[in-house]
Amino acid sequence: MKQKTVIVYKTEFPPEETLFPEKLKKVNEILARTKMLD
Amino acid sequence: MSRTPYPYYKENGSRYKFISSGRRAIEKVVEFTPTTLKNVYNLGFGDLLPNGEMDDTAKSNNGDIIKVFATVISILEDFTETHPSLKIVFWGSTLERTKIYNRIIKTYYQSFSKIFVVSGATDAKGRSEEVIYNPSDTCFYSVFFVKRI
């Protein structure tokens, strides 16, 4: 039986970490009290 | 924006880097990360410090602000071209930066609105509501949202 080589590229999307954790925390706070259009 | 952007490279599917070559060379990072709202991603933007940490409040004074923002817009276009269903939220880490974003959106709204639906939210008495951006309005937006048309 032939073996198949599968190459998996790490695209990191969606990202698992952020370089801006504080900003993300604050934006989540803003979004939590924002009435969105859709 | 008409100003030519700096060349940038994609570190991965959601992080981009470029060098601001004004008075000195400063490495800049633009990053898109998911928020708690489905399909809404935060745009993070800052300077990569020599110690490896990020600073998104830095006042670089590098003399190339227009070119730097033209690059950020170019990156935003690239990312949303790949992910057109995502809505991107951005706001300034400081009041001064948020004022700059308000000025940029107002100035370049004609070209932005050709590819993005632009909306914003104002913070009043702790409550916030997203509204479609109106360039003739004088209100101050705390955050902006863009989504591909």
Q: How far apart are CA B145 and CA B99, in angstroms?
A: 15
pLDDT in tens, B30-49: 999 999 999 999 999 999 88
Q: How far apart are CA B72 and CA B77, in angstroms?
A: 9
In a domain, B2, yes or no: no
Chain B nearest-CA distance from A35, in A, is 5
pLDDT in tens, B73-130: 999 999 999 999 999 999 888 888 889 889 989 998 999 999 999 999 987 667 789 9
Q: How many domains does chain B have?
A: 1
CB-CB under 8 Å, A33 with B128: yes
**Torsion of the alpha carbons at A10, B70, B45 and B137, rounded to the nearest 10:** -130
In a domain, B87, yes or no: yes
In a domain, B18, yes or no: yes
In a domain, B1, yes or no: no
In a domain, B83, yes or no: yes
Domain holding B91, by residue range, is 8-148
The token pair at B61 is 């004074």
In a domain, B61, yes or no: yes
In a domain, B3, yes or no: no
In a domain, B40, yes or no: yes
pTM: 0.88
Q: Nearest Cβ partner of A13 from B13, B89, B121?
A: B13
